[in-house]
Amino acid sequence: MPPLRTFLVVALLTGGLGAGCGAVFPRYTTATRRVPAGMLEERSVRPPPEDVHEIVVVSAELPPSREDGQPWDSDGGPDLYAIIRRNGTEVYRSPVVADSTRPEWHGASVTLRVRPTDVLRFELWDDDGLVDQPVGAEQVTGIPSSALDGGNWVVRFQRNALLYLAARSPEPRYGLGATFESHEDFLRIVELEEGSPGRIAGLREGDQVVSIDGRRVVDLGELGARQAMDRAAIRAVVLTVERDGSPRTTVTVEPGAVYVAQ
């Protein structure tokens, strides 16, 4: 009988002693490309879902000193950044703008799915290195109608601090709009963007794609299968799908707009 220590080493290496060892499969999100400008001008691109918006952090205004009259920082103005939380979960954090009570952010935006009942909390912070200091926090339910389509949106904090925002339609991208796991002989769809070409074509979460444009996934290999899925950003692709033990079915995904949102 081998020593107990030897048994334990073998058991750990082989996943014994009752411990489960599930395989981890790589996940990929299908590629996208810019929609041709002409199609945007012709308005021939499907608009985003009603609850998908790009929220832009534009600028902020602070009084020249803290409420007690003390300076924001010993070496100058505050180093400000903004946080957006949806239903209590952080979904965006802006870059820090250093040494300014009138910071402006350029390109600071996030595309979010915001339903009318969702609670958005906006926070303004002063980056002090070791311990950041809160400047203000305020929350709203949904997006104000006046803020849509780039309209004015001002969040007013205590101490006369202001945060300027905008909500606008997000940029469309062409693609399939799917995230999938790569297995040896199939791709498992794990997520589909709302209103994406993949979902419109009839794909569902949990579907197993076994061939793409007539070529088996097992023959394409991992890289070849990824490239084949990405072609949906350029032209139609034909997917052979297995679903819940049902007979195989064919799904044709036509190029269309994808709006990637958190």
Query: pLDDT (tens digit, 9 = 90+) per residue, 19-51?
Result: 445 578 999 999 999 887 766 666 678 888 889
Tell me the percentage of the chain whose pLDDT exceeds 90.
Answer: 64
Which pLDDT band, with edges at 50, 70 and 90, does 14 fall under?
A: very low
Is the pLDDT at 194 greater than 90? The verdict is no
Q: Which two tokens stand for residue 175?
A: 């693609």
The residues near 139 (Cβ < 8 Å, ≥ 6 apart) are 119, 120, 121, 122
pLDDT value at residue 10: 39
Tell me the percentage of the chain whose pLDDT exceeds 70.
Answer: 89
CATH superfamily of 22-47+173-258: PDZ domain (2.30.42.10)
Higher pLDDT pick, 76 / 10: 76
Is the pLDDT at 207 greater than 80? The verdict is yes
pLDDT value at residue 205: 96
N- to C-terminal Cα separation, the chain: 57
Give the highest mean pLDDT range of 10-14, 23-27, 102-106, 244-248.
102-106
pLDDT value at residue 7: 38
Angle 139-55-156 from CA coordinates, rounded to 5°: 35
Higher pLDDT pick, 41 / 259: 259
Contact 136/123 with Cβ under 8 angstroms? yes
Average pLDDT over residues 48-63: 93
Give CA–CA dist 98/79, Å, rounded.
4
Give CA–CA dist 83/156, Å, rounded.
14
The 10s digit of each residue's pLDDT in 133-178 is: 899 999 999 999 888 877 789 999 988 899 999 998 898 899 999 9
Give the SS3 label for residue 240: strand
Contact 55/148 with Cβ under 8 angstroms? no
Q: Which of 93-102, 103-112, 139-148, 201-210 has the lowest mean pLDDT?
A: 139-148
Domain range summary for the chain, segments of one domain joined by + = 22-47+173-258, 52-168
Give the SS3 label for residue 46: coil
Closest by Cα among 127, 84, 78 to 99: 78
Strands 89-93 and 178-182, sheet pairing: unpaired
Task: State the fold for domain 52-168.
Answer: Immunoglobulin-like (2.60.40)
**Whole-prediction pTM:** 0.79
Q: Which of 14-23, 26-35, 53-62, 70-79 has the lowest mean pLDDT?
A: 14-23
Which 8-state DSSP code applies to residue 226?
Answer: H
Average pLDDT over residues 109-119: 96
Which 8-state DSSP code applies to residue 104?
Answer: B
Q: What is the mean pLDDT of the chain?
A: 87
Using a 10 angstrom Cβ sphere, with 0-12 exposed, 13-18 middle and 19 or more buried, the burial of residue 162 is middle
Give CA–CA dist 235/46, Å, rounded.
16
